[in-house]
Structure 1
Amino acid sequence: MSAAVLPTSSGGRELSNPPSDGISNLRFSNHSDHLLVSSWDKTVRLYDASANILKGEFMHGGPVLDCCFHDDFSGFSASADNTVRRFVFGTGKEDILGRHEAPVRCVEYSYAAGQVITGSWDKTLKCWDPRGASGPDRTLVGTYPQPERVYSLSLVGHRLVVATAGRHVNVYDLRNMSQPEQRRESSLKYQTRCVRCYPNGTGFALSSVEGRVAMEFFDLSEAGQSKKYAFKCHRKSEAGKDTVYPVNAIAFHPIYGTFATGGCDGYVNVWDGNNKKRLYQYSKYPTSIAALSFSRDGRLLAVASSYTFEEGDIAREPDAIFVRNVNEVEVKPKPKALPAPPP
């Protein structure tokens, strides 16, 4: 993809009371500027990102590896203590929705199906009905074996994409989970870090530890598959030596369908996937980008600057959450130039 414009001068405002250990994920609510944050410090935190207020916090028995909203004041979390929990800020109510046999890496809530979907390092995907009574025996809808440990999940409508170790990708229809709709292998050669579905439901983006992103499409026809491609990003060349960084995070803009990527190089880039161009690069953040999320209207971008231990346990910058105002020029696709008229 082509070169970026000059970086901006500010990383955005920094939220007060950040987690004290690695940030595993952050997500904006679909209804407000509330931001849910999970961390290795065993907490799930709720912030009002616009007002810069910590509104609530829940403690877990182990590191929290993922979180998602149910509604504006409640949500679900996935923990290294093998549990899936639900919590309600304000009332302080919390319970265990279910368990896996190993750390739970991912959690998603499907508004279309009314189910919670979790992926674990026990090589299973599980679906839960949160409307049932407490307890895994009453809330578990189904267990679906995966070829390897689950690393990332993404939902669009009734479609679920599951990315696992070994570069496997399974695509499901939540209305019929008996078997995957599609079984694929990542077109990237190295371990998958993140998968995110396109907002328009036509495909998904995959990122890897080796500084690449692949743009994939669900349509298996020859014409559909001819659209897919991959590109290099989050790498630098100094003195003839290339340094390649993992791409940890992908977030799609809800209005324009462009997307941001965050890497262990501390940079956030914004891309126009349709025109295969980089639109913007923000100023370098203090350390690795662990997670990204656009607000529901695309006005805000939350950035987790959090060391991801790619270089070992070294002295590092403290974890921080930045919330930046998004300018249209940073995320809106540029119109293609019309060919010059014939002389």
Structure 2
Amino acid sequence: MANLTGLAAVGNPNPNKSFEVVQPPSDSISSLCFSPKGNYLVATSWDNQVRCWEIMKSGATFGSMPKASTSHEQPVLCSTWKDDGTTVFSGGCDKQVKMWPLMAGGQAVTVAMHDAPVKEVAWIPQMNVLVTGSWDKTLKYWDTRQPNPVHTQQLPDRCYALTVNHPLMVVGTADRNLIVFNLQNPQAEFKRITSPLKYQTRCVAAFPDQQGFLVGSIEGRVGVHHLDDSQQSKNFTFKCHREGNEIYSVNALNFHPVHHTFATSGSDGAFNFWDKDSKQRLKAMSRCTQPIPCSSFNNDGSLFAYAVSYDWSKGAENHNPATAKNYIFLHVPQDTEVKGKPRIGTGGRK
């Protein structure tokens, strides 16, 4: 650990020359999400805060301006926007989900409750419902105008990850369960799969065409999984976020909204861009001095936001909030980094 600490102290926190977001959170950053309607970025943090910045472009450079913030009683773990870009939902260790009418300048109100921390939230515009996943081993659907959930779905274990691309929803839980839902029949499991990865699930991402999903784990590996039995031959896993014998967690998976390639962000402090169809890595970025716990593309894919902060993978004893600085950076993806490439032969390169 001494080496790592030294590296963090003297290394360059921004080796990719990204634009730095001003006034970042004062503790580890747990989620990032862009407004679906514009360049407003929300971050949640272990400092109990939910913050929003307006991201502005001036020529070839980007700047940021803090817009508003709201708070929970305990660390905040997840966030999502309503599809109209007016409202933010956030959930966390206070077992609550808050609805924050950010663009109207309103106060956050509690709209959902669980019996344990809330790990994931997603808004489903086609159903006008909020879905929340918790460590209490339930998934709940909410009409935010009503105090009680519309439906409570029991999960086999604690919810660790969630992705929605209607009608597809995939929930990753402890013990490597992946539960697939068809949201046209949201009260029944469509399929339950054991993760193709041998270790704990950290993140999932539905394919843009809803035909399958990605899953990332703590062992520096990603699985590409198709739902249709006739497509099983297209399933594969690949290694990433590794250096020599060091293996790092894959913390985030983000599909590009236009090109449908994807980014992985890891505890090694790197983010990479990939094309699942040609099985190629499009671009490997330089490692930052701390892990990347979360990341997000904006609505048109012209910006990629990523956090650089402690990710708790080495426990609370190795975290010193007084000395660890937290960053949010904005990377401008180049076409060569995010545009898919034609397949090479049959196997492609990894």
The TM-score with structure 2 as length reference comes to: 0.88
- 1:99 is aligned to 113
Residues 252 and 260, structure 1, Cα contact 8 Å, conserved in 2: yes
Q: In the TM superposition, what are the counterparts of 1:69-108 in structure 2 within 5 Å?
A: 69-70=81-82, 71-89=84-102, 90-108=104-122
Residues 11 and 282, structure 1, Cα contact 8 Å, conserved in 2: no
Q: Find out whether 1:187 has 2:196 as its counterpart.
A: yes
Cα distance between partner residues in 1 of 2:218 and 2:281: 20
- 2:40 is aligned to 34
Secondary structure, aligned partner of 2:337: helix
CA deviations over 1:33-80 (Å, ceiling 9, x no partner): 111111111111111123401111001111111000013231111111
- 2:182 is aligned to 173
Secondary structure, aligned partner of 2:293: strand
Q: Find out whether 1:334 has 2:341 as its counterpart.
A: yes
- 1:4 is aligned to none
Secondary structure, aligned partner of 1:290: coil
Q: In the TM superposition, what are the counterparts of 1:210-225 in structure 2 within 5 Å?
A: 210-219=219-228, 221=229, 223-225=230-232
Deviation at 1:9, TM superposition (A): 5.9
- 2:27 is aligned to 21
Cα distance between partner residues in 2 of 1:99 and 1:251: 27
- One-letter amino acid of the counterpart of residue 259, structure 1: F
Aligned partner of 1:288 among 291, 294, 305: 291
Q: Which consecutive residues of structure 1, in runs of 5 or more, have no partner in the other structure?
A: 1-7
Cα distance between partner residues in 2 of 1:297 and 1:303: 16
Cα distance between partner residues in 1 of 2:24 and 2:74: 18
Residues 290 and 305, structure 1, Cα contact 8 Å, conserved in 2: yes
Residues 278 and 344, structure 2, Cα contact 8 Å, conserved in 1: no
Q: In the TM superposition, what are the counterparts of 1:107-146 in structure 2 within 5 Å?
A: 107-130=121-144, 132-133=145-146, 136-137=147-148, 140-146=149-155
Cα distance between partner residues in 2 of 1:30 and 1:194: 21
Deviation at 1:310, TM superposition (A): 2.1
- One-letter amino acid of the counterpart of residue 137, structure 2: K
Deviation at 1:104, TM superposition (A): 0.5
Aligned partner of 1:208 among 200, 217, 237: 217
Secondary structure, aligned partner of 2:294: strand
Deviation at 1:123, TM superposition (A): 0.2
Aligned partner of 2:169 among 151, 160, 176: 160
Cα distance between partner residues in 2 of 1:259 and 1:278: 10
Cα distance between partner residues in 1 of 2:92 and 2:53: 20
Deviation at 1:335, TM superposition (A): 2.6
Residues 171 and 180, structure 1, Cα contact 8 Å, conserved in 2: yes
- 1:5 is aligned to none
Deviation at 1:336, TM superposition (A): 3.7
Aligned partner of 2:302 among 299, 303, 323: 299
Residues 11 and 283, structure 1, Cα contact 8 Å, conserved in 2: no
Alignment: residue pair count? 321
- One-letter amino acid of the counterpart of residue 69, structure 1: W
Q: Find out whether 1:229 has 2:236 as its counterpart.
A: yes
Deviation at 1:337, TM superposition (A): 5.5
Secondary structure, aligned partner of 1:93: coil
- One-letter amino acid of the counterpart of residue 253, structure 2: I
